[in-house]
Amino acid sequence: MTETPEPCVLLVFGATGDLPRRKLAPALFHLHVQGLLPKGFAVLGAGRKRLSHDQFRAFMREACDTFCACPPSDADWASFAPLLHYESGHFTDQTLFQRLNMSLREIDHRLHTHGNRLFYLATVPSSYPLLVRQLYDAEMINKAAHHPFTRLIVEKPFGHDLDSAIALNNQIADVFREDQIYRINHYLGKETVQNTLALRFANAIFEPLWNRMHIDHVQITAAETMGIGERGAYYEESGALADVVQNHLLEVLSLVAMEPPLSFDADAIRDKKIEVLRALRSLAGSDVLQTTVRGQYGASADGHLPPYRKEPMVDGESTVPTYAALKVFIDNWRWQGVPFYIRTGKRLAQAATEVVIQFRQIPFGLFDQEQVRSHIEPNRLVLHLQPYEGISLNFGVKAPGSGVQIDHTQMRFSYDDRHDGAPPLAYERLLTDAMRGYAALFARRDSVEEAWRFVAPVQKIWAQTPAGDFPNYAAGSDGPETADDLMAADGRAWQRLRPPDSSS
C-alpha cells in the first residue's frame, strides 16, 4: 500500500511528553522532508503545559535536533514549522475540546484538511477513557461514516492485565468502531520485523522447512543495555512481562509462527496471527515456575551502574522483574513439540533483538561420530531485528586439509550494505499507515486480549510467589543464571548476546 494519505490533521494529546519528543517529532519531520505527508496536513498538539504555537515549534525543533539522524536544516525547518500548532488545557476541561474543535475547523479551512482527523493518545494510559469520552461529548468523532474519517491512535500499554484491557477496549468501543482504532505496538513498524513476513513468504526455500519436522526450537530475544531511566513509576506498574513480553515478543512470535495469509490485507494477516496466540499452550499452576524465569538487575560488577532498586521512582525493595524468559509451545499441526524460548531484559550485556531458528541436528553422521556429536552444529537462521539489521545463516563446511574436519561459517545479509541509508523509523511507517487507513501493523482488539489471556496466569503466579533472590543478575551481564538453566534442562543454550560482528 503506497498511495499518498488523504489530507488530515493529527491531534496529539500529551504533545510535549517523552514519546512525541523522541519518536513522533523525528518521524513527522522525516516524512515531511521526503514529501510523504499529505498535501493538506497539520499537527495540533494538546497538553497541560501552557505553550504558544512558537514555543511548541521550539519544543519540536529541539526534539528533531536531538533525535533525528540528521538534524533539520533551517530551510527544511522553515517549511515544516508552520504545520505545527498547539492548544493548552486540562483534559477534564470541556472548554479545551471546544477550543480544539475551533482550531481544527480553522485548519480545515486554511489547509483543506476536509475534516479528516487522527487523534493520537500519547498521554498516560489512565487518561485514555477520559479523552475518548471528551472527544465524544464534544462531537468530534464520526462513528457512523467513513468520510470524513476520524481515527484513534492509541499507544501501548493497552491495560495492565486482561480485565483492564477488556475494560479499556469496551470504553473505546463505545465511541469508535474497531476499524477506526489503531493500537500501536511500534515493533510492528520496524522494517526488519516486517521483513520476517517477506523472508517467509517471498522465498520458496524456507516454507517447506518451517515446521516441526525441520526446526528444533526457536529463540526470540529482546535484550536491552538501557536501564529503566526516568520511567520508574511506569515500570513499577508493569515490569518486563507486561512491558515487552505481552506485546512485542508475542507479536514477533506470531509473525514467525503464523500460517500464510491469503493476502496482505490487514485482517487477512491479523486473522492468521491471532490463530497463533489462540494456539499457545496455557501456562498454569506449577508449570509457570518450571517454564518461566524472572530476574531483576543489581549493580554492575564495576559498581558504575546502579541496581534497579536504586533507580528513580523505584521502591527500594521492589520485586518487579526487569528480565523475563518463558518456554512456550504452540499447540497446532505445524509447531507441535517445538519449544519457543522467549526472553527480554533491561541492562543486559548487549542490545540485540533477534529471532533464532535452530534447525534439527543432522540425522546421521557420515563423518566421525564423535565429531558429529561434539562439533557439528545445527544450522541456525538468525533474523537480526536491531540494532544490527540483517539475516545470517550458519552452516558447516569442510575445513581445508587432508582429513574430514567440519568447520562452521556464516552467510550474512546486512541492510546497511544492501540499501542506502538507515531504514525508515517505525513511527514513520505507522503514522502514514494510520493516515491511509491501513491497519495490518496495528494490534486488533482480539489479539491484545488474547495476549493478555496468555500472560495472565504468569502474572498471577509471579505476584503470588515473589522471587526471593532479587536482584539476581548484574547490570551489564547476560541475565540470570536461571535463564541458562531453563535452556540447559532441555540440552539447549541461548544464542550468546554479543555484537554481530564478533566471531560465532
Catalytic residue IDs: 248
Q: How far is the CB of 191 from ligand BG6 (least distance, A)?
A: 12
Q: How far is the CB of 186 from ligand BG6 (least distance, A)?
A: 6
Q: Which is nearer to ligand BG6, 84 or 349 (CB)?
A: 349
Q: Are 151 and 180 in contact (CB under 8 A)?
A: yes
**3-state SS assignment for residue 21:** helix
The packing angle between helices 426-436 and 25-33, to 10°, is 70
In Å, how far from its chain's centre is CA 111? 34
Q: How far is the CB of 227 from ligand BG6 (least distance, A)?
A: 10
d(CA 9, CA 78): 19
Computed from CA positions of residues 390, 184, 250, 208, in that sequence, does the dihedral angle turn out positive or negative?
A: negative
| 154-173: contacts with ligand BG6 (CB under 6 A) | 156
DSSP letters, 233-255, are HHHHHHHHIIIIIIIIIHHHHHH
How many Cβ atoms are within 10 Å of 303's Cβ, its own excluded?
9
Residue from 87, 108, 191, 243 binding ligand BG6 (CB under 6 A): 243
Query: Does position 236 bind ligand BG6 by CB under 6 A?
Result: no
Q: How far is the CB of 446 from ligand BG6 (least distance, A)?
A: 20
Q: Which is nearer to ligand BG6, 245 or 456 (CB)?
A: 245
| Residue 150, C-alpha cell as written in the block | 476520524
Instruction: List Cα–Cα distances, 388 to 67, 243, 245, 267, 446, in angstroms.
Output: 19, 22, 21, 30, 32
Of the candidates 327, 395, 393, the one whose C-alpha atom is nearest the C-alpha of residue 361 is 395
Q: Which is nearer to ligand BG6, 223 or 486 (CB)?
A: 223
Give the count of residues interacting with ligand BG6 (CB under 6 A).
5
CA angle 177, 181, 187 (to 5 degrees): 155
Residue from 224, 271, 275, 287 binding ligand BG6 (CB under 6 A): 224
Of the candidates 466, 467, 458, 464, the one whose C-alpha atom is nearest the C-alpha of residue 161 is 458
Q: Are 285 and 279 in contact (CB under 8 A)?
A: no
Instruction: Indicate the length of the chain as a whole number.
Output: 504
Q: Which is nearer to ligand BG6, 233 or 488 (CB)?
A: 233
CA angle 154, 182, 192 (to 5 degrees): 100
| 180-209: contacts with ligand BG6 (CB under 6 A) | 186
Residue nearest to ligand BG6 (CB): 243
Q: Which is nearer to ligand BG6, 104 or 305 (CB)?
A: 305
Q: How far is the CB of 197 from ligand BG6 (least distance, A)?
A: 18
Q: How far is the CB of 496 from ligand BG6 (least distance, A)?
A: 19
Q: Which is nearer to ligand BG6, 186 or 270 (CB)?
A: 186
Q: How far is the CB of 388 from ligand BG6 (least distance, A)?
A: 13
Of the candidates 493, 486, 159, the one whose C-alpha atom is nearest the C-alpha of residue 324 is 486
- Helix (H) or strand (E) holding 150, with range, is strand 150-155
Q: Which is nearer to ligand BG6, 330 or 443 (CB)?
A: 443
Q: Are 291 and 314 in contact (CB under 8 A)?
A: no
90: left (phi over 0), alpha (psi -120 to 50) or beta: beta
- Helix (H) or strand (E) holding 277, with range, is helix 266-279
Q: How far is the CB of 444 from ligand BG6 (least distance, A)?
A: 18
| 364-403: contacts with ligand BG6 (CB under 6 A) | none
Instruction: List Cα–Cα distances, 483 to 192, 244, 289, 327, in angstroms.
Output: 26, 17, 12, 10
- Residue ranges of the alpha helices (H) in 160-231? 162-175, 191-201
Q: How far is the CB of 421 from ligand BG6 (least distance, A)?
A: 18
Q: Which is nearer to ligand BG6, 131 or 223 (CB)?
A: 223
d(CA 436, CA 37): 11
d(CA 232, CA 38): 38
Point out which residues bind ligand BG6 (CB under 6 A): 156, 186, 224, 243-244
